[in-house]
Structure 1
Amino acid sequence: MQATSSDVINVKEPFDDYKIIKDIIEKLISKVARLDNERRRQLQIRNKKKTEATINNENLILKRSRQTIWFKNKYQNILFRKKENERAIKYFRDKYHNNNDFREKQKSRIKKHILVKYHKNINFRVKNNAGASLRILNKYHTNKIFRDKVKTQSNIHILNKYHTNKTFRDKLKTQSSIRILNRYYTNKMFRDKVNAQSNIRILKRYHTNKTFRDKVKAQSNLHVLNKYHTNKAFRDEYKERMNVQVSKKYKFNKTIRLKMIQYALNWYRNNNTLVRKTSRRLYNQRRRILKKYATFQSHKCTLKHNNLYTQNLKEFRKIIREGPDYVCLSCGLALFRNQVVPFVE
């Protein structure tokens, strides 16, 4: 029986589907197998690497331990130690100067380490402060640029603080006054210098400022007058000095001598009038009367006091006419008659 075309087509269609499914399954199986093989291979590689790394680490540790032991034994040699230190210093210096990242990292690490040690260790802090002070002082005294820079900065800082902080300003003024006074009283050269400067400054102000000049003159006049009226020694000295000065001027300066003579003549001519003569005569007469009255009063007072003294002396002699023959019963002293009271039993 012959198959028809429709039957052939119907038979071929399931066969093609089966073939497609089979190909897909084979591809999936091969792919899964390939992935599985790859995973196994990767696992073997990893295990191999781990084994190699373990072996390498053990070898490296062994090698390093041998190197450490050798280095320790070798480091006992002074020449080797010195050479090794120089090599390490040179290597570190070259790396520090050539590698910016390493340099910055090293600086930050050192700063951090120093800060931690500074805040935790008191001895290190004290030592570091002392070292920094010495280093700054040495740099200050040896480096002129640094010294000028520090002076400028300190002046600016002090000026800002002086103008903004009243407490600091008052404190600074007090300290400067005390320091200047101490230096003034202990240092003769400084005292002479200050006196010379003050004299020059006062003289300049005196000659340029009329108000100040008038004020100084008034003050000096008041001071001289007060001293003249309160200090007898100064008054006598001033009078003597003025007399000597006037005498010298009168003797050696002809113009002044003539002026004084002319002044005396004019004064005598203007004041030697009849009224003046009468007043002078009355004044002299009054003085004579007062002197005579004062003498009489003095004699009268002397007589009065003399009589009083004589009377008191007579009374005293009358009292002591009888000696101290009266004995006190309580104290046993010998007393006069007027010093005891009769005892009546």
Structure 2
Amino acid sequence: MHLVGSWATEVEIQAAADCLGVNIFTFFNGRWLQYSCRDRTFSNQGLYVANTNGNHYETVVCVQQPQTHMCYGYCKVKSSFSDGYNLRWKNDDASATIHSLKLNTLLETEVTCRPAKEEAHVSENICCSKGKYSFSKYLKTQRTSTYKLKYHVLYKENQKVVRNRFYRENVLHREIKKAQIKRKYRSNILYKEKVKELSITKYKENVSHKEKVKELSKIKYEDVLHKEKKKDESKRKYRENASHKEKLKALSKIKYEDVSHKEKKKDESKRKYRENAAHKEKLKALNKRKYRLNQLHKNAKKVMSKSKYHSTAEHKKQVKELVNLKRHQIKVKMQEFDFVIEKFLDKVEEGPHYVCGCCNRLLFKHQVLKCKWDYYKKSRLLAEIAEKCISDEYLHKCKEDCIVPCPLLETA
């Protein structure tokens, strides 16, 4: 480059674009070639040169501005130029008329943008003196503000496109930005809440985005570790967040009305009860406890059991067979001393806590029956006998010093 007769190649042009922070355009073989700045761009304007004879570059001083319908006005000096640009050497003899042509272009733009009824007012604001034009303060301010706004919008959009393209194409830059965003999301609470709100809003309003997120979530859920992690988070949130718990219950009840979903959940529950021993024992314990403590549930189960027993012949036969089998097994096992001891220890495990209403003795649970006062009120004679023979003098009655829940509550 420092020698006479040598010219710039693509390497030097690209280096110049990176160094100056602008895009450089070269006109060759009837088309423009762009050398984009790979670092930070300082302006959305560019440098324009024309490749002459394949061994020389001339500066292009006039081009049409991007995304506009006007240029600097130099191209109107000579109408014979058809290349869409002017070179510096071609404009030496036209410097006297450049200024007036540029002002005429701006004047035409300003006047044509206004309504017809304001043209007279605009004409009065423009003064002509010896072929030189000057604008009023009103037009200068309006033109300046319009150009600033247009330049700001175009520059902002251009920078956004450049940043997005650079983010997509540069893998290292993309990973660095992701790490920065994650670190900021973890450390900055306000930023975290803002991102969450934006994400929730976009998920609700943007249908295509919602479907895309669902598909990605399903694909990611196939990973076993991620699946277990999400399950644990869901269970913890269900236990700790009361409003979330009630919301899920309501949604589950609504969804359970669907017949296909209902049958599917029943099959899953039955399969889990058969295959998972721990789950089976847990359900049994919960059902026994609920049957013992919840009187409404107990009565409902009794009614259902009786109704099913009398209405379904197959169920009735199955229950009888199970009862007979159980009795036979107990009868056989009663011949074994260890089984007898085991049954005895089970019976005397709790107590004696139960008070007999007739003899006032403390007995074990299997030695007493619950006294039903309503049964003795069926006739006057039975009521008189019950009043004389049955007493609740030693029956336990909860007081303020009782432990909650009271362990003797069942004996009352």
**TM score, norm. by length of structure 1:** 0.27
Higher helix share: 1
Could you say which structure has the greater relative contact order, defined with CA pairs below 8 angstroms and 6 or more residues apart? 2
More strand by share: 2
Q: Give the structure with higher Rg (CA).
A: 1
TM-score relative to the length of structure 2: 0.23
